[in-house]
Amino acid sequence: MTWVTWRQYRYQGALAAALFAALTVVLLITGLHVAQLWHSALARCATDGSCANLAGTGLSLQSPVLTTLIVGTSAVALLPGLFWGAPMVAHELETGTNQFAWTQSITRRRWLAVRTGWLLLAAAVLAGAVSALVTWATGPDSALYADAFQINRFDVTDIVPVGYAVFAMALGICAGTLLRRTLPAVAVTLAGFVGIRVLTAQWLRPHYMTPVTGYYKLTRLYAPKGSYLSVSQGIVGPDGKPPVAGLGGYVFNGGPIPTVCAKAIQNPAPCMAAHGYRAFLTYQPASRFWAFQGIETAIFVILAAILLGFTFWVLLRRDA
Amino acid sequence: MTATIRTSGLTKRYRRVTALSECTISVPEGRISALVGPNGAGKTTLLRLLAGLAAPTAGQATVLGGTPRQDPAYLAGIGYLAQDIPLYRRLTARDHIGIGAHLNPRWDSESVRARLGGLKIPLDRPLATLSGGQRAQVALTLTLAKRPRLLLLDEPLAALDPLARRSFLATLAEAAVQEDGAAGGDLTIVLSSHLLTDIGRVCDHLILLASSRVQLCGDIETVLAQHRILTGPRKDTTAIARMHAIVREDTTARQTTLLLRLGSPVIDPAWAIAEPSLEEIVLGYMSQDNPAYGTGHQAARLSAVGEDR
């Protein structure tokens, strides 16, 4: 069955390998250039002791091409699910070849298990390899701007892309099995994948763990150490509640300016600080980066397992 | 003689449609059986149930001593060729030979190469580039390479021109002879088709389905011997209906023509008696679809033909 799977997917496999090789070349060239810039900058700042303020020196480790390419790699997790997963069962049903495949001396369960297994592995390996490459190429930039936890960086580095790829493959196979048509299955896979990814990134991810809240004076800038994931921020008054009644139309840091500071509308910060107002930032600290990578990967792998379990249940009970 | 296929009350219902109803048949080992009937009569459904691709709603089937199911040992005994001859169009015949070799225990790659070589069918071109006749030959050859004990062919002749049809049937007839004893028993073949003359050439057994029910099942010789066409002046047929089953009655202003299944050897000498062809019998039963000619009750009674052997 492994040989049969390889025979049917070898052209797609070769195409994927070629695209991966091309991406590797581009990322290697740009990544090596960035690494060189980064290390020479580190060497320079070490001599004059300005390394703490490296981000403020105008050092640029990005190029439009690189940025676009890195964001574009978020599609790598989806494409195998679209082009291999959705047609896996649907195309066989459309062309009737399932009747050939399922009347050889092999059970449908084994046919499905071997094929699903190899496609999941291929998607995971591809996503993992691209992610490793991206993680390496964006390493200096993530270190300089401490943005490893940001959307568009978190989502394309380390282990979460593997979880996304496994999920997309399972979603494609499941949609193809239920809809029996390749094109609708591709559409559902695309919409479902994008929908779930946006939902988790925007609404679920900030709440995987109870966030930490930091309070700080209004008169000075504050940022947690390292790369953090911001959940919410704002101003609270001496009673611990955000200012309510304010001067109509005037806003400071997203909140109304309290009436006591009516005379300092141009620069209300010192006045508000004097009256006990403080700024707060609720966030997930940098130390939780790997926990969050693990939690999000687990969520997508579990979703994939549910989808695949359902696919097996349907396909083994339904008439061919 | 043992029966390769024996079903009782086999029924398949889809949401609202009954595709096959109370199908009770038996096909002895070594027969080449023609499965005939109008479109939508349940031929494909019956073959799919026997191949283990679909599960029956009610009733049982015993095929090669087992129940059709998802099981390598069962599937190894079955050669199934679906309607429209589905194969992987982008793969070559050689790829298909490889697939078969990896998925079947008794696979015979050599015979495929020899047979396709003999037919001058290229092994290393994608099947999409072959003609329909060539594809059908590839599909049949692959099905035979599995060395099954039962071959289920769903309308394999439909898409073929007369020449390709003849060559296909020749391959089939050759296989029926050659495969004797290959896997411990004669090869049994069930072949559905609309082409009655072609079938008459190779088949020795008949299963006739109409309106999702079995109308006839038995050896063709027996079926022929049990039917007569009576022609005579127009008159009342109740006397004859008491002794024989009237399959079909055609009446013109002056003349009555009857297709009978004989109940006793005695026939009123006032009638002119003729032996019907297989085609005439099959068409006679098929037209029972028309309620003017028969009822479900009559059809059920007639299905016993050949069962008593």
Q: Name the residue facing A4 among B52, B99, B105 (closest C-beta).
A: B99
* Spatial distance between the Cα atoms of A236 and A253, rounded to a whole number of angstroms: 11
Q: Do B71 and A97 touch (CB under 8 A)?
A: no
What's the pLDDT at A249?
A: 62
Pick the residue from chain B with its C-alpha nearest to A2.
Answer: B102
B105 neighbourhood in chain A, CB within 8 Å:
105
Contact with chain A for residue B80, Cβ under 8 A: yes
pLDDT at A306: 98
Express each pLDDT in B134-177 by its tens digit: 998 899 999 999 999 999 999 988 878 888 888 888 888 888 87
In this complex, do A104 and B75 lie within 8 Å of one another by their Cβ atoms? yes
pTM of the model: 0.88
Spell out which residues of chain B touch residue A102, defining contact as CB-CB under 8 Å. Answer: 53
Measured between beta carbons, the chain B residues lying within 8 angstroms of A99 are 53, 80, 82, 86
Contact status, residue B187 vs residue B106, Cβ threshold 8 Å? no
Query: Which residue bears the tokens 């024996």?
Result: B6
Using an 8 Å Cβ cutoff, are B71 and B15 in contact?
Answer: no
Tell which residue, B172, B225, B181, has the closest CA to residue B32.
B172
Tell me whether residues B53 and A103 touch, CB distance under 8 A: yes
Pairwise pLDDT comparison (B6 vs A49), residue with the higher score: B6
DSSP state at residue A156: G
pLDDT over threshold 50, residue B128:
yes
The DSSP secondary structure of B46-82, one letter per residue, reads: HHHHHTTSS--SEEEEEETTB---S-HHHHHTEEEE-
Q: Do A105 and B75 touch (CB under 8 A)?
A: yes
A104/B95 touch (CB, cutoff 8 Å), yes or no: no
Mark yes or no for CB contact B53/A320 under 8 Å.
yes
State ipTM.
Answer: 0.84
Q: Does B99 touch chain A (CB under 8 A)?
A: yes
Which residue matches tokens 């004669």? B186
Query: Nearest CA to B114 among B95, B137, B130?
Result: B137
SS3 B309: coil
Instruction: Determine which of A105, A315, A316 to mutate to test the interface with B (most B C-beta atoms within 10 Å).
Output: A105
> Which token pair is B141?
């050859």
Subunit contact A105:B70, Cβ cutoff 8 A: no
Quick check: A316 contacting B, CB < 8 Å?
yes
Query: What mean pLDDT, rounded, does chain B reach?
Result: 84
Which residues in chain B have Cβ-Cβ distances shorter than 8 Å to A316?
70
The verdict on a CB contact (< 8 Å) between B88 and A3 is no
pLDDT at position B179 is 55
User: What is the rounded distance in angstroms from the CA atom of residue B228 to the CA atom of residue B197?
Assistant: 19
Cβ-defined contact of A4 to B78 (cutoff 8 Å):
no
Q: What is the pLDDT of residues B24-37, one digit of tens each?
A: 999 999 899 999 98
At residue A264, what is the residue type? A
Q: What is the mean pLDDT of residues A18-34?
A: 92
pLDDT > 50? residue B296: no
Identify the closest residue of chain A to B75 by CA–CA distance: A105
What does A164-177 look like in DSSP terms, one character per residue? Answer: HHHHHHHHHHHHHH
Q: What is the pLDDT of residue A274?
A: 85
Average pLDDT over residues A243-254: 67
Q: Are residues B211 and B19 in contact, defined by beta-carbon separation less than 8 angstroms?
A: no
If pLDDT is split at 50, 70 and 90, which confidence band does B246 have? confident
When scoring B11, B44, B70, B144 by the number of chain A Cβ atoms within 10 A, the one with the most, hence best to mutate, is B70
Whether residue B105 lies within 8 A of chain A, CB to CB, comes out as yes
Q: What is the pLDDT at residue B1?
A: 56
Tens-digit pLDDT profile for residues A125-184: 999 999 999 999 888 888 888 888 988 899 999 999 999 999 999 999 999 999 999 999
Q: A96 and B75: CB-CB below 8 Å?
A: no
Split at pLDDT 50, 70, 90, the class of B289 is low
Residue A108, chain B, CB below 8 Å: the answer is: yes
From chain B, the residues in CB contact with A107 under 8 A are 70-72, 75
The H-assigned helical ranges of chain A are 2-48, 64-72, 79-80, 86-95, 98-101, 108-145, 160-179, 182-199, 269-274, 289-317
Chain A nearest CA to B162, separation (Å): 25
**A278-284/A212-216 β-pairing:** antiparallel
| Contact between B215 and B298 (Cβ < 8 Å) | no
Q: What are the pLDDT digits (tens) for B205-230? A: 999 988 888 888 999 999 998 898 88
CA distance A212 to A230: 10
Element (H, E) at A230: strand A229-236
For residues A254 and A270, is the Cβ–Cβ distance under 8 A? no
Of A8, A100, A107, nearest to B70 by CB-CB distance is A107
Question: Using 50, 70 and 90 to split pLDDT, how confident is the model at B298?
Answer: very low
Split at pLDDT 50, 70, 90, the class of A245 is: low
Span B267-293, average pLDDT: 77
| B82 and chain A in contact, CB less than 8 A | yes
Show residues of chain B in contact with A108, CB under 8 Å: 70
What average pLDDT does the structure give for chain A? 89
Q: Assess B84–A contact: CB distance below 8 Å, yes or no.
A: yes
Q: Are A209 and A296 in contact (CB under 8 A)?
A: no
pLDDT of B212: 82
Q: Identify all chain B residues contacting A1, using CB atoms and an 8 Å cutoff.
A: 102-103
Mean pLDDT of A175-194: 97
Phi, psi of B150 (to 5 degrees): -135, 130
Q: Among A129-143, A303-317, B251-265, B295-309, which range has the highest average pLDDT?
A: A303-317
Please say whether the beta carbons of A107 and A211 come within 8 A: no
CA angle at A297 for the pair A129 and A34, rounded to the nearest 5°: 40
Region A109-119: what's the mean pLDDT?
95
Q: Using CB atoms, pick whichever of B54, B87, B100 lies closest to residue A97.
A: B87
DSSP 8-class letter at B28: E
A316 to B70: CB separation less than 8 angstroms, yes or no: yes
Of A8, A96, A108, the CB nearest to B82: A96
| Interior angle at CA B39, CA B38 and CA B41, nearest 5 | 70
Q: How many CB pairs under 8 A join A and B?
A: 73
Q: Which span out of A183-192, A267-276, B159-168 was modeled with the highest average pLDDT?
A: A183-192
- What part of B 26-65 touches A (C-beta under 8 Å)? 48, 51-55
Confidence of residue B302 (pLDDT cuts 50, 70, 90): very low
Question: Does the pLDDT value for residue B182 go beyond 60?
Answer: no
Most confident of A25-39, A188-202, B118-132, B150-164: A188-202
Handedness of CA B264, B266, B269, B274 (dihedral sign): positive
Q: How far is CA B293 from CA A65, A125, B230, B279, B284, in A?
A: 79, 67, 16, 18, 9
Between residues 58 and 77 of chain B, which touch chain A (CB distance below 8 Å)?
Answer: 70-73, 75-76
Q: What pLDDT is stored for residue A247 in this prediction?
A: 60
Q: Quick one: pLDDT at residue B57?
A: 93
| Cα atoms found within 13 Å of the Cα of residue B301, Cβ hemisphere only | 12
> Do A105 and B80 make contact, defined as CB atoms within 8 angstroms?
no
Residue A79 to residue A126: CA distance in whole angstroms? 10
Cα-flanking dihedrals φ and ψ of residue B154, to 5°?
-100, 105
- The residue that leads in pLDDT, A155 or B181, is A155
